[in-house]
Amino acid sequence: MSPPAPGPPITRPLALDGGRGWAIVASGFLALLLGYGSPQSVGVLYPEWLLAFGEGKAVTAWVGSLVGGVGLIVGPVCSVCVVNFGARPVTVFSGVMVAGGLMLSSFAPNVPFLIFSYGLVVGVGVGLLYAATLTITCLYFDKRRGLALGIVSSGTSVGGFLYATLQSELIELLGLDGCLLIIGALALNVVACAGPMRPLTPPRYYLKQRAAILERQLQEEAELSNQKPSDKDQGITTETKEPPVRRRSLFSCSSFIKTIKIKTRGYTQCLSSMLSLLQDRVLMALCICLFFFSLGNTPPQLFLQELARSSGLTEGVASISLVSLYSIGGGVGRLGLGVMADMPWVDSVHLYALTVGVSGLAVLLIPFTSSYQDLQVLSLVLGFLSGNWTLTPYVTSQVVGVEKLAEAHGILMFFGGVGITLGPPVVGCFYDVSQSYDVAFFICGGGMMVSSIVLFLATVSLRPQTPPPPSVAPETELNSCTVTLVTDATSPVA
């Protein structure tokens, strides 16, 4: 009975780098297209909500900021769900959440209800979907991981491009409510995309249940063997008749307390392990850089179309919308930057810092635009540079190693989620006060450029002091967490 039990956890399946892995890439691409299509093109819905509910720009902007930020803020929780239950059930659950949130938003009577249904429900759903698709892709690819992640994550940009036109047409034909109902029905197809996402190793929840069953069987066998005392123990049985009875009466309470202590100790060690990652100065600089990038790059996606309308730049111009151009640039950027990250002569961290700095420069140029064509060019540039989200798991694995990828990536997504959540409302507040976007764009662009310089200096001066993760000393500290990350830490590394 004992030999088969430790078999699955010990085996370390190799990443396939092809074969079934490309089916995972295709399903992940389609799932992100269907799930992120509406959130990525929320700039089309934003002016309609302003007209429908008559609220201020800052209040209404919370809907678009939360749908993109809350999923990343709960990134650590999403990563834990994927590790414990597997990518397939999490994808199914996320599809139901996204579809339900979109359909519920069609009945929204006011903006606060819309913040809950569209911002929180849909936001958490796409956050779970993002964590599941990226995790299962990393497990199936090693040498071509950058290309695979680029293809999968480009599904968000393709979805934003397609849904920008689709939502505009549906709003003209069926109105805002009918549009959200149709988009929600399409999002249900995410459930079907979970089919090919078979894990290489059993999820941790399955392993825990299996271990609990084996432990229960061993306890029953031990109790049966203890009920038949030998002749040598007859002198002791008279003194130990009561303890078994008392042990049975208090067994549930004592085991419950013991379980709580074990769980608390494990969670405390995992939390301390995650906090210890922030002592890496490169990772901390990366978190700060991602925060300012999310704070400054997200508002143009939401406000550029409204800025063009309010400035009168769209009059007499019949061309593709800025939201669609942003999505096109994002799709090309995710693929292009993913391919560049796989090149041996490219430093992925420096590449990420460069994209953030150039993106900050593009945001600084927005107040100086004088035509719709200028905004179209900046939309393409900002969309292309927003493709550096493909680099975040790649850069994280380069900084802390694959063994700590799930923990570090969850922390990184938390900082990015906070930036996405605060960006549009902050810009909206500046507009409500000054009736202009210029000051907000200057602050956002300047913050992005400064943070990129900080990251570049951290990698140049301090990166040699943070060597790759040779797991020699940390084994004693990470025993409890390595069990949690067994599905993330096995396959990508041989």
Q: What single letter denotes the amino acid at residue 170?
A: L
Going by C-beta distance under 8 Å and a sequence separation of 6 or more, which residues neighbour residue 317?
372
Residue recorded with tokens 């961290």: 349
Q: What is the pLDDT of residue 272?
A: 67
| Lowest-confidence region among 9-23, 70-84, 227-241 | 227-241
142 and 213 Cβ atoms separated by less than 8 Å? no
Residue recorded with tokens 């209404």: 60
Q: What is the pLDDT of residue 118?
A: 92
298 and 445 Cβ atoms separated by less than 8 Å? no
> Taking Cα atoms as reference points, which of 33, 48, 319, 326 lies closest to residue 177?
48
> Taking Cα atoms as reference points, which of 298, 437, 450 lies closest to residue 361?
450
Q: What is the pLDDT of residue 273?
A: 64
How far apart, in whole angstroms, are the C-alpha atoms of residue 25 and residue 28? 5
326-342: per-residue pLDDT in tens?
888 888 888 888 788 77
Q: Do domains 16-201 and 272-463 have the same CATH topology?
A: yes
314 or 382, higher pLDDT: 382
Q: Which superfamily, per CATH, for 272-463?
A: MFS general substrate transporter like domains (1.20.1250.20)
Q: Which range has highest mean pLDDT (70-79, 172-181, 250-259, 280-289)?
A: 172-181
Angle CA(314)–CA(316)–CA(318) in degrees, nearest 5? 75
State in Å, rounded, how far the first CA of the chain is from the last one: 29
How far apart, in whole angstroms, are the C-alpha atoms of residue 380 and residue 325? 6
57 and 437 Cβ atoms separated by less than 8 Å? no
**Residue 397: pLDDT band with limits 50, 70, 90:** confident
34 and 190 Cβ atoms separated by less than 8 Å? yes
How far apart, in whole angstroms, are the C-alpha atoms of residue 391 and residue 40? 19
Query: Residue 38 to residues 109, 157, 194, 321: CA-CA distances in angstroms?
Result: 20, 11, 20, 15
How many C-beta atoms surround the C-beta of residue 408 within 10 A?
25
Please write down the HEC assignment for all residues of the chain: CCCCCCHHHHCCCCCCCCCHHHHHHHHHHHHHHHHHHHHHCHHHHHHHHHHHHCCCHHHHHHHHHHHHHHHHHCHHHHHHHHHHHCHHHHHHHHHHHHHHHHHHHCCCCCHHHHHHHHHHHHHHHHHHHHHHHHHHHHHHCCCCHHHHHHHHHHHHHHHHHHHHHHHHHHHHHHHHHHHHHHHHHHHCCHHHHCCCCCCCCCCHHHHHHHHHHHHHHHHHHHHHHHCCCCHHHHHHHCCCCHHHHHHHHCHHHHHHHHHHHHHHHHHHHHHHHHHHHCCCHHHHHHHHHHHHHHHHHHHHHHHHHHHHHHCCCCCCCCCCCHHHHHHHHHHHHHHHHHHHHHCCCCCHHHHHHHHHHHHHHHHHHHHHCCCHHHHHHHHHHHHHHHHHHHHHHHHHHHHHCHHHHHHHHHHHHHHHHHHHHHHHHHHHHHHHHHCCCHHHHHHHHHHHHHHHHHHHHHHHHHHHHCCCCCCCCCCCCCHHHHHHCHHHHCCCCC
Q: Which superfamily, per CATH, for 16-201?
A: MFS general substrate transporter like domains (1.20.1250.20)
207 and 8 Cβ atoms separated by less than 8 Å? yes
20-43: per-residue pLDDT in tens?
788 888 999 999 999 988 888 887
| Lowest-confidence region among 133-147, 250-264, 334-348 | 250-264
Work out the average pLDDT over 45-71: 84
**Residue 359: pLDDT band with limits 50, 70, 90:** very high
Angle CA(385)–CA(389)–CA(393) in degrees, nearest 5? 140
421 and 69 Cβ atoms separated by less than 8 Å? yes
**Residue 102: pLDDT band with limits 50, 70, 90:** very high
Average pLDDT, the chain: 76
223-247: per-residue pLDDT in tens?
777 765 555 444 444 444 444 444 4
How far apart, in whole angstroms, are the C-alpha atoms of residue 248 and residue 254? 10
Angle CA(425)–CA(415)–CA(334) in degrees, nearest 5? 90
363 and 296 Cβ atoms separated by less than 8 Å? yes
Q: What single letter denotes the amino acid at residue 364?
A: L
How far apart, in whole angstroms, are the C-alpha atoms of residue 192 and residue 171? 27
Q: Where are the domains of the chain?
A: 16-201, 272-463
How far apart, in whole angstroms, are the C-alpha atoms of residue 363 and residue 379? 10
